[in-house]
Amino acid sequence: DAKTTQPPSMDCAEGRAANLPCNHSTISGNEYVYWYRQIHSQGPQYIIHGLKNNETNEMASLIITEDRKSSTLILPHATLRDTAVYYCIVRVLGDDKIIFGKGTRLHILP
């Protein structure tokens, strides 16, 4: 079973920041937080990952709480092309497998 909890859906206005929450209250010290998204009919796309520090790349920012029990993915300026299902995943360092939950369906509203 997935070790994360995400809201099933969210709306965000185009041009605004989209903040997607994820709860991973049972995360252990050697587990990373990964975010992927899946645009309709395409393969999952890797976005970002982190262990305990906040991370930023060209796509998004990842904010992990100090106790590591939750995180937020931030898309700074959402566009219609960001409409997708977003998956938050925890994975043990060195584990070959990742387990996808149901994710959050993000709707970007024009």
Note the residues at the interface with another protein (CB under 8 A): 32, 34, 36, 41-46, 49, 51, 91, 93-94, 96-103
The beta-strand segments (E) located in 31-83 are 31-38, 45-50, 55-56, 61-64, 70-75
Which is nearer to another protein, 18 or 85 (by Cβ)?
A: 85
Please provide the distance, in angstroms rounded to a whole number, between the alpha carbons at the two ends of the chain.
35
Shortest reach from residue 2's CB to another protein, in Å: 8
Shortest reach from residue 13's CB to another protein, in Å: 28
Shortest reach from residue 17's CB to another protein, in Å: 23
Bridge pairing between strands 84-92 and 104-109: antiparallel
Which is nearer to another protein, 42 or 66 (by Cβ)?
A: 42
Which is nearer to another protein, 41 or 110 (by Cβ)?
A: 41
Which is nearer to another protein, 21 or 44 (by Cβ)?
A: 44
